């Protein structure tokens, strides 16, 4: 263990946290808006629109993110003249733009399925009641469908956010120096993977731990009635052990 | 976009990409199986009544699910060789320079991460087996191993199948990350093609279609397996 190297390199890795966080935050927030649009298209009665949305989701969910990033960043270079002629080349030559674009589309596809599941889980009686009191379509979506759907979808969406934070590491493959990019640079210069891995890994774990906490807190805040008899982590672990012991007793 | 680049044979890259796809399939299946073996072990630990084992398994899944795979790949790629050399020198007295083969490195990395997801799937499947079934098996006097192989295994595999299908898709897509350490699978082959022809879009698009084909076909396979496994089960 080379502690000197660890002390030397942690400020560099820490300095990359904003890069990772801003990549994640911008793609998650834009992706959420994309996802709402896509899920509404997917649920629309128009067959064409819903098929287009289905195709988008299918394409992005069944191919690796790395291919999507490379296709957008390196692939756009093949059509440089075309992009220059319509004035978009200034965007596509930037690694940042390409990384955020691909991450956004990717999370948009995954999140739209999560939101769709949430919307479909809204009890029909609630919508009927809203219609009966004369709510307009927009008001109904804003006041009834969306709030219920978001509560249903929140746990799955929390997982998606964590996956996205992990996915931002792929931006390091197109020259962006996020935490993983810096880590890779230091590792290949010093050949001390363990030390760097520990620091970088701890940073990612902390970020993701905070996110799970925030999501959990949001869940409780949005539907407190479900969490009245919440247990501490240690207590649930102990009970899990007891439950396992009971199960094994049965097996014996 | 010059599609003649993708023809079969010396003139095009069709055959290279095809063999890349075979490599992707090989490394994905190896890591997937490795992950299932791993996942079964850790699921058993998660279900054990010994709190320490439970904690270790919890740590494993938390770490793997919270740290980017790319970082794990760098760790094993740059660190695996050193460990191997230390073992070779310490245990076998072998002092020559050896390195971990890229295929093994990739399989270990992807297998570890796939194993964390398999753990949760298998654990859930075990908990889904109704306890009454085990009681019934005990009541007619089945031995412990018979209960395990005749009652638990068939049902757990049926319950776990949909989840394991998802894990397979994840694993297949994750193999693309091994291209960064140079294993010549679809993605790496597309990189090489894109680099030497200056037609990146053509090659990455071909890679996209190959992955799309692999996931679609295997998805259909898993759906078939599911309906086969659920034959004779009452539908709700």
Do A221 and B25 meet the contact criterion of CB atoms below 8 Å apart?
no
Judge whether residue A250 has pLDDT over 70. no
Rounded to 5 degrees, what are φ and ψ at A123? -60, 135
User: Is residue A78 classed exposed, middle or buried when 0-12, 13-18 and 19+ CB atoms within 10 A define those classes?
Assistant: buried
Judge whether residue B11 has pLDDT over 60. yes
The average pLDDT across A205-211 equals: 94
To test the contact with chain B by mutation, choose from A55, A61, A78 the residue with the greatest count of B C-beta atoms within 10 A, namely A78
pLDDT value of residue A244: 67
The average pLDDT across A223-245 equals: 70
Q: Which fold has domain A17-170?
A: MetI-like fold (1.10.3720)
Closest CB from B49, B65, B191 relative to A245: B49
| pLDDT tens per residue across span B129-187 | 888 888 899 999 999 899 889 989 889 989 999 999 999 999 999 999 999 888 899 99
pLDDT value of residue A211: 93
Say if A238 is an interface residue toward chain B (CB within 8 Å).
yes
Q: In the numeric block, which tokens belong to residue A190? A: 């010093």
Q: Is residue B175 part of a domain?
A: yes
Do A133 and A190 meet the contact criterion of CB atoms below 8 Å apart?
no
CB burial of A87-118 (b: ≥16 within 10 Å; e: otherwise) equals: eebeebeebbbbbbbbbbbbbbbbbbbbbbeb
Which residues does chain A have within 8 Å of residue B190's beta carbon, measured at their own beta carbons? 67, 70
Banded model confidence at residue A65, pLDDT cuts 50, 70, 90: very high
Judge whether residue A103 has pLDDT over 60. yes
For residue B99, count other CB atoms closer than 10 A to its CB: 12
What is the rounded average pLDDT for all residues in chain A?
A: 89
pLDDT value of residue B92: 78
pLDDT value of residue A225: 80
pLDDT value of residue A82: 86
pLDDT value of residue A249: 63
User: Is residue B51 classed exposed, middle or buried when 0-12, 13-18 and 19+ CB atoms within 10 A define those classes?
Assistant: middle
Q: Which of residues 113-152 of A touch B (CB under 8 A)?
A: none
What is the rounded average pLDDT for all residues in chain B?
A: 88
Q: Is residue B127 part of a domain?
A: yes
Banded model confidence at residue A5, pLDDT cuts 50, 70, 90: confident
Q: Which of residues 195-224 of A touch B (CB under 8 A)?
A: 197, 200-201, 204-205, 208-209
Asked if B134 and A251 come within 8 Å (Cβ–Cβ), the reply is yes
The average pLDDT across B189-216 equals: 91
Q: Give the integer Cα–Cα distance in Å for A21 and B131.
A: 46
End-to-end, the C-alpha distance of chain B in Å comes to 51
- The tally of domains found in chain B comes to 1
Interhelix angle A3-15/A179-190, nearest 10 degrees: 150
Q: In the numeric block, which tokens belong to residue A214? A: 């925030």
A191 or B28, which is more confident?
B28
pLDDT value of residue B51: 85
Question: Cα dist. A80→A160, A173, B112, B192 in Å?
Answer: 33, 21, 40, 20
Judge whether residue A232 has pLDDT over 70. no
- In A, minimum Cα distance to B52 occurs at A241
pLDDT value of residue A234: 66
Taking the CA atoms of residue A145, residue A151, residue A156 and residue A159 in that order, the dihedral angle to the nearest 10 degrees is 130
Question: Hey, CA dihedral for B207, B208, B210, B215, is it positive or negative?
Answer: positive
SS3 A115: helix
Q: Which of residues 51-90 of A touch B (CB under 8 A)?
A: 59, 62-68, 70-71, 74-79
Question: Can you give the CATH number for the domain in which B135 is found?
Answer: 1.10.3720.10
Banded model confidence at residue B82, pLDDT cuts 50, 70, 90: confident
Asked if A183 and B71 come within 8 Å (Cβ–Cβ), the reply is yes
User: Is residue A23 classed exposed, middle or buried when 0-12, 13-18 and 19+ CB atoms within 10 A define those classes?
Assistant: buried
For residue A167, count other CB atoms closer than 10 A to its CB: 25
Nearest alpha carbon to residue A151 among A87, A73, A222, A88: A222
Residues 6+ apart with CB under 8 A from B74: A180, A183, A184, A187, A193, A197
Q: Give the integer Cα–Cα distance in Å for B112 and B157.
A: 20
Range in A141-145, A147-151, B77-81, B211-215 the model is least confident about: B77-81
Q: Give the integer Cα–Cα distance in Å for A61 and B170.
A: 10
Which residues does chain B have within 8 Å of residue A183's beta carbon, measured at their own beta carbons? 71, 74
Judge whether residue B208 has pLDDT over 90. yes
Which residues does chain A have within 8 Å of residue B223's beta carbon, measured at their own beta carbons? none
For residue B219, count other CB atoms closer than 10 A to its CB: 16
Share of chain A above pLDDT 90, in %: 61
pLDDT value of residue A246: 67
Nearest alpha carbon to residue A207 among A164, A157, A150: A164
Closest CB from B131, B144, B212 relative to A62: B212
Share of chain A above pLDDT 70, in %: 91
Judge whether residue A238 has pLDDT over 90. no
ipTM of the complex: 0.88
The average pLDDT across A120-143 equals: 92
Q: Is residue B51 part of a domain?
A: yes
Q: In the numeric block, which tokens belong to residue B153? A: 């295994």
| pLDDT tens per residue across span A74-95 | 998 888 888 888 888 888 888 9
Judge whether residue A33 has pLDDT over 90. yes
DSSP letter assigned to residue B179: G
Judge whether residue B20 has pLDDT over 80. yes
Judge whether residue A166 has pLDDT over 60. yes
Name the residue with tokens 């960064």. B180
- Beta strands (DSSP E) in chain A are none
Question: Residue B169: which domain range?
Answer: 22-180
pLDDT value of residue A130: 93
pLDDT value of residue A241: 66
Q: Give the integer Cα–Cα distance in Å for B24 and B179.
A: 10
Q: Give the integer Cα–Cα distance in Å for A221 and A215.
A: 10
pLDDT value of residue A248: 62
Nearest alpha carbon to residue A168 among A90, A91, A66, A70: A66
Q: In the numeric block, which tokens belong to residue B149? A: 């192989």
């Amino acid at each position: 263990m080379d502690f000197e190297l660890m002390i030397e390199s942690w400020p560099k890795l820490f300095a990359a946290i904003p890069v990772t966080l801003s990549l994640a935050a911008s793609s998650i927030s834009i992706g959420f808006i994309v996802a709402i649009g896509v899920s509404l298209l997917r649920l629309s009665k128009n067959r064409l629109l819903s098929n287009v949305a289905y195709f988008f989701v299918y394409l992005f969910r069944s191919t690796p993110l790395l291919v999507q990033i490379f296709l957008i960043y390196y692939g756009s270079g093949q059509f440089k003249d075309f992009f220059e002629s319509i004035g978009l080349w200034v965007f596509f030559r930037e690694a940042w733009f390409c990384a955020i674009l691909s991450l956004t589309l990717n999370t948009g596809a995954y999140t739209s399925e999560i939101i769709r599941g949430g919307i479909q889980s809204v009890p029909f009686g609630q919508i009927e009641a809203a219609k009966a009191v004369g709510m307009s379509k927009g008001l109904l979506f804003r006041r009834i469908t969306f709030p219920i759907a978001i509560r249903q979808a929140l746990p799955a969406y929390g997982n998606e956010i964590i996956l996205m934070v992990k996915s931002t590491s792929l931006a390091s493959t197109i020259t962006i120096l996020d935490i993983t990019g810096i880590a890779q640079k230091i590792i290949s210069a010093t050949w001390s993977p363990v030390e760097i891995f520990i620091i970088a890994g701890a940073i990612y774990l902390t970020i993701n731990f905070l996110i799970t906490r925030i999501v959990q807190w949001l869940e409780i805040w949005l539907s407190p009635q479900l969490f009245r008899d919440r247990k501490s982590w240690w207590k649930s672990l102990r009970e899990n052990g007891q439950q396992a012991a009971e199960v094994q007793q049965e097996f014996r | 976009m010059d599609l003649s680049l993708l023809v079969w044979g010396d003139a095009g890259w069709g055959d290279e990409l095809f063999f890349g796809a075979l490599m992707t399939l090989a490394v994905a299946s190896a890591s997937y199986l490795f992950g299932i073996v791993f996942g079964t072990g850790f699921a058993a630990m998660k279900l054990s009544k010994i709190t320490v084992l439970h904690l270790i398994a919890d740590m494993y899944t938390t770490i793997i699910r919270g740290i980017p795979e790319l970082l794990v790949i760098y760790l094993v790629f740059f660190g695996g060789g050193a460990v191997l050399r230390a073992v070779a020198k310490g245990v076998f007295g072998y002092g020559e320079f050896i390195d971990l083969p890229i295929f093994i490195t990739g399989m270990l990395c992807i297998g570890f991460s796939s194993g964390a997801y398999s753990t949760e799937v298998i654990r859930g499947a075990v908990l889904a087996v109704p306890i009454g079934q085990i009681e019934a098996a005990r009541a007619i006097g089945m031995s412990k191993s018979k209960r395990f192989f005749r009652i638990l295994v068939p049902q757990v595999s049926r319950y776990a199948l949909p989840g394991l299908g998802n894990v397979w898709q994840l694993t297949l897509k994750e193999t693309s990350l091994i291209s960064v350490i140079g294993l010549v699978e679809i993605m790496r082959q597309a990189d090489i093609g894109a680099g030497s022809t200056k037609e990146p879009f053509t090659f990455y698009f071909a890679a996209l279609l190959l992955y799309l084909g692999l996931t679609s076909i295997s998805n259909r396979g898993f759906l078939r397996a599911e309906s086969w496994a659920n034959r004779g089960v009452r539908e709700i």
